[in-house]
Structure 1
Amino acid sequence: MSEILAPTGMDMPSPTLSARLRELGDFFAAPGAERLTEEQRALSLAIARRLVAATARRIDRDFDSAALWTDWLYGGLPGGDRLAYFCFARGEEHRWRARSAWTSEPAGRAPPAEAETQPDATVAPREAEQSEADEREGRAYLALQIAHRARFDAAGQPTLTAHDLDSGTYRALLNDMAGWRLERLGGDPALARQLGDHVRAALDEQTAGAGIDTAGRAYHQLLVTRGRLRAAAHDAAERHDWPTLIALLAAARDRLYAETSLALICADGDDLARLCAPLELDTGALAQVEASLARLPARAVGAGSRT
């Protein structure tokens, strides 16, 4: 984004004017490009606010996240470009799922492997091994669903967890918030040490924890070992279980879930087929994905897309 400079000798009277002129400058630079809808803007902003509130609780239980959010809304979010990527990806994924036409089975239902009968003493060894493998697959699938459910708040609204961010973005957010807290309370050295300890503890939790990327990789590896990746991916597409499909594709491409989610939502036609190639989806399954995506308005598909 280019900086907007006032004519010589003229000052910008407010940050609001500066922001509006930057937006207008972007418009002048590409008048034909589509802009964010109000829904996209509001959804991304709400996701960012929930992330800030949750992060504040990890830093200090007495953290006034509402005051910080007010300050940042006026002065701008530090690292806004990096946060925007993850918030927009989460928002677009949520819009996709909300507008997707559900088929006969709900997306949250476990795959058939989890429903297999339990092994007992009368079952032949080979059948018992098969049943145990099915149970492991069912547990891995359940872990993936739990990781996805953690990406909603108590009211069912989409949010981001620490595990959804890369370590650099999360560290920067923690440091910016701790710096704001320290400045607000007068820069006390003891508080600075305490905040530093809390930031390091939060980073350690992010490293040790298991989010949707970790759960997706574990489920993907198990499916590959069993030779069931293609079948599970096809099943996810048929049931419109988009979180599972995204997680499997992210693991297959060795990419972040957020990156893969945006790539899918922005793909169309041959690009979509190439993107999904690691899952070996057949024509019918690909058609399910493409038809569902086609129902999502204001997708960023190609140059000048009107989808």
Structure 2
Amino acid sequence: MDRLLISTAILTLLSLSFLSEVQSTSFKMVNRCRHTIWPGILSGAGTEQPSTTGFALKSGKSNTLTMPKSWSGRLWGRTLCGQDSTGKFSCLTGDCGSGKVECAGSGAAPPATLAEFTLNGADGLDFYDVSLVDGYNLPMLVVARGGTRGGCSSTGCLVDLNGACPAELKVVARGAGSARGSVACRSACEAFGDPRYCCSEAYNTPDTCPPSTYSVFFKHACPRAYSYAYDDKTSTFTCASADYIIIFCPSPYTRKRVLLTLDTIYHCHGNQEEKWVKLSSTFSIFNRKMV
């Protein structure tokens, strides 16, 4: 009888272990931009690969992927993509250099807005953030759904920064003889290559690499997103057993409304706390409408 109980217990544990191993997380990617985008996906070293590393996503459409339980990596949206006469695929922003729609192990060329994930990390928590450290090309929102532990907060950059981007950081596209305008906003590190902006060489610690004027620009506009290398405290979020919705160009915001908000932030002369409260409040209103 004891042997039977022991055998049953072992089988139960094995079954639970098997179920744990096959557990997965869904990523629903939604395109609310007015144009087609091409999401790209890069997995971390030693991480099981998802079923695709890049695809086209038309305006108003969504695509749900099943991600491995302990997946880590990043995803982003590529814009202004197409094929040349030889069939080589490339994008003006976020290009991964593979020459194909699938990124196949290559990351985004900056500037690009990145969503970064480590699933089932320490204490069984997912860690996630939206990063502007490599610059910006699209508004993005990450929403955790159905989580059991952790804050499970939404995060992202809801602002269309391309128009408000400082002139020295702008990426401007031209085509068919007419200007398309600003299509991305570079980081100061990429634009100038200065170790003080890159937090490298003698500036590779939080004490020696404080926020720059340019990273403050990103942080004021998108207070929950990473603005530079040592921006962890206000930019990393956790959740357990959640599924995720990643929205490109999240509504109900329009370019005009967002830029008016930016204009208010950068031209008012109140104290810094007032500026941050305005943005945090705006985000909270949006988050209630979304979820």
TM bracket, shorter-chain basis: under 0.3
Q: Could you state the TM-score of these two structures normalised by the residue count of structure 1?
A: 0.25
Higher helix share: 1
Larger Rg: 1
Q: TM-score, normalised to structure 2's length?
A: 0.26
Structure with bigger RCO (C-alpha 8 Å, 6+ apart): 1
